[in-house]
Structure 1
Amino acid sequence: MITKISKKLAQQIVDTVKDVSGYHINFIDGSGIIFASTNHQRIGDFHEIGYRAAMTGEVIETTGEQQFQGSQKGVNIPIFHNALFVAVIGITGEPDEVRKYANLAIRITQLLIREQEMDAAIFTQKEKVNYIVRSLITGDFSNRAYLNQCLNEVKVDATENMRTVILLLNNRYNVVNISLIEQKLFRTLESIQAPLFSYTYPNEFIAVVYEKNLPQTVPILKQLAADYEHILSIGVGSNQEINQLKLSYDNSYIALKSLQVAKSNYAEFDLLDIEIILGSIDIKSREEYLKKTLSALSDEDISLLRTYYEQGMSLAKTCEILFLHKNTLQYKLDRIYRLSGYNPREFRHGVILYVALWLNVNLL
């Protein structure tokens, strides 16, 4: 609830009332000071009749026959909101002419105050949602009582199992247009009844969805991924209780890391296998592994290996895709063996090289 009017809102009120009435309007605070006015020269002046109206809570009219400090003829109306004094609205002019705008001034003032209260409430709720999401994905339960209070206020059923969903915006997407895609995401997540949704600058959207809604959620997320194929990457985390959503969040990122190999923009953690292990390897270990396995190979060698393994180590299929003669391909594979020390056609060595290819693509 608003208990103090900002200068910006006060000026908005007087400008709006003047637009309707055509008369100069003053916004007078409880101490009689003109806080905002359509006659800017009067801002900061003491308004004696406005002060009296504030003290008595009654409408006071002046005809100009009596002299009052800082006052001109007009009507001065005390404004109350939720039974609390807000200000006095002074309408300058002949009382018989401006009196009819008194009720309108009250209505406009209360309407603008309520509008700002609603905006503030929405902002406050958004802050609480951001706090909840941040606490859950980091596992920070240091203020459990406040977290539970926020969960209750935004009507999240903490007894239900949930999953995190990360929607990652392509860094090349124009951030100026972020609000457009954000609105689309909001509408989509509302349609699947996602209880929590947060945006983290510059390009990460985080949603928490109920596990029980997953059968309806997945097709919608897949369609969203298809609609924004070159803009969004979506990773769906694992099924967890609310206190374990940090694990679900981490698993969402493992799902995202698998996308570059899969050449897709949608992945579910539950459908991964080797990627679960590989996605958990730290950066330093990856770098050491790649140095040992691929450092002697050229980009052309690495590309050939990737195609070879994508085709199930089939010489015929690889030759067809790369337009190579079988002997040429065998020569190139032998060359890779000599340079790296790992034979691409031998099972154990092939696994080592396949892992290296995966880590090389996902070295973030």
Structure 2
Amino acid sequence: MKILEQIAQSIVEQTSSLLGVSMSITDAEGVIVACDRKERIGSLHRASAQVIREGREVVFTKNKAKILENVLPGIATPIRLHNQIIGVLGIIGEPSEVEKFVNIVRNHVEMILHENFRTESLLLQMKTTELFVQHLIHFNEWENNGELENYCEMLGYRFHLPRVCLILHLPSLAQIKAEAKPVAFSQIELKNVICHLFQATMSDIVCPIGQDKWIVLKQIEEQKMGTLAELCERSARKLTLFLERHHLHCKVSISYGKCYKGLEGASKSYRQAHKALIIGLEKNKNNAVYSFDSWAILPDIFLEEMDFSFLDLFADDIQKIWAHPEAEMLVKTFLSYCENNMNVSRTARFLYVHRNTLIYRLNKINQLFKIDVQSFEQCQVLYIVLKKSIENRALQRKG
């Protein structure tokens, strides 16, 4: 069994050093896979076949060992995992002297094997869940949705009740990955923490979706969505404390979409949560929680989703503003004026300028565009044009 081969040598080295005895471990085929005498590793230990066949401890005295090939005096005992013999543990030495170690060491080996098997099983389950979630969040790319539904049913997941998608952003995890630093906790430990914070039922799906992101697909009734922000705020604080205890310092951010039924609904909620996270981290860095239906970021999401094709309609006006010698100042002034609810006094305080200075600048904008700066509809159009124009210029500079 692979799991035995992977950990056998470390078990032998640690245990033999601690107890001061010589040890070996063979696999179910009788091949020595671990030994403190490393020259024996890889050799066939035929006597292990007797131990495996009889399923019991066998004593090898000096006289008995002499007539057997590749056998040393000591005691050999079967190693079991889930009631199946998977190998043989050999404690080498005078049988009367080493017998006191046999049960202790065998139990220790089997306990480590059980723990490693459990860990491997959990990691495999996590990988399977992650693969399913990756397919799910790209639901629209599937040509045959029935395949995904069968996959879902095979894993035992149900999407007939409303679910909301939450994305947990833990940037320090990507940093330590890039710097190849050791992590003081396992993925399973982190998953247990996240499950403790968010998982109300076993139907809630929790798994990583990248180096620095985890996803939670949580069953929730629509009327309880109002409590989600508080849960996320509380959970972000606790996750931050968890990371800090392991010397990882970063801002934990959590975003979520709306709740929907079905696979397509879960995919839609993910896209909303993902968009809310991107815009939230860019526009509201001090916040820990971002909701897709928050009006604090919805205008920016609206602008983000809008393509650049409509800018052709305003090409002359855009060229006029950027050709102006005071373009940067005028654009900043107008955007600030709109973002401060078209309130002159508030905008002046925000820009640290005199009220008359602000009015002078707004008059210049009025002259450039023939716009009524007191009209919400007119300012709204120019605001969108300028915001997308700035974004377009930034992309062109990068290109």
Where on the TM-score scale, by shorter chain, does this alignment land: which range?
0.7 to 0.9
Matched letter for residue 277 of structure 2: L
Q: Residues 157 and 201 of structure 1: is their aligned pair in 2 closer, same or farther, counting only changes over 3 Å?
A: closer
Alpha-carbon distance, 1:262 to partner: 5.6
Note if contact 1:61-1:75 (Cα within 8 Å) is conserved in structure 2: yes
Report the counterpart of residue 227 of structure 2 in structure 1.
216
Distance, in Å, in 2 between the alignment partners of 1:304 and 1:172 is: 39
Segments of structure 2 that go 5 or more residues without pairing to the other structure are: 241-248
Instruction: Report the equivalent of 1:52.
Output: 50
1:321 pairs with one of 350, 363, 376: 350
TM-score of the two chains, using structure 2 as the length reference: 0.75
Question: In the TM superposition, what are the counterparts of 1:337-356 in structure 2 within 5 Å?
Answer: 337-339=366-368, 344-356=373-385
- Is 1:78 matched with 2:89? no
Matched, 1:281 2:281: no
Partners of 2:86 and 2:13 lie apart in 1 by 17
Q: CA deviation at 1:99?
A: 1.9
Corresponding residue of 1:192: 198
Q: Which residue of 2 aligns with 1:268?
A: 291
Report the counterpart of residue 240 of structure 1 in structure 2: 260
Counterparts in 2 of 1:31-50, with a 5 A limit? 31-50=29-48
Give the counterpart letter for 1:199 in structure 2: P
For the 8 Å contact 1:258–1:362, the answer to whether it is kept is: no
Contact kept in structure 2, 1:25 and 1:92, CA below 8 Å: yes
SS of the aligned residue for 2:69 comes to: coil
The answer for the alignment partner of 2:246 in structure 1 is none
Assess if the C-alpha contact under 8 Å between 1:336 and 1:342 holds in 2: yes
Amino acid at match of 1:49: A
* Partner SS state of residue 46, structure 1: coil
- What residue in structure 2 maps to residue 147 of structure 1? 152
Q: Which moved more, 1:285-294 or 1:300-309?
A: 285-294
Q: Could you tell me how far apart the structure 2 residues matched to 1:241 and 1:57 are?
A: 54
Q: Normalising to structure 1: TM-score of the pair? A: 0.81
Q: Is the 8 A contact 2:30 2:87 kept in 1?
A: no
Q: Which of 18, 27, 31 lines up with 2:16 in the alignment?
A: 18
- Please give the alpha-carbon distance, in whole angstroms, between the structure 2 residues aligned to 1:334 and 1:293: 16
- Residue by residue over 1:289-335, the C-alpha shift from the partner in whole angstroms, topping out at 9 and shown as x without a partner, is 89676563433333222321122212232223333334322221233
- Which amino acid is 2:59 matched to? E
- Indicate the SS of the match to 1:209: strand
SS for the counterpart of 1:52 is helix
State the alpha-carbon separation in 1 of the partners of residues 390 and 216 from structure 2. 26
- How far apart, in 2, do the equivalents of 1:311 and 1:199 lie? 39
How many residue pairs match? The answer is 357
Q: Would the aligned equivalents of 1:74 and 1:92 in 2 still touch at CA under 8 Å?
A: yes
- Give 2:230's aligned amino acid: P
Contact 1:34/1:45 (<8 A) preserved: yes
> Is residue 91 of structure 2 the alignment partner of residue 87 of structure 1?
no
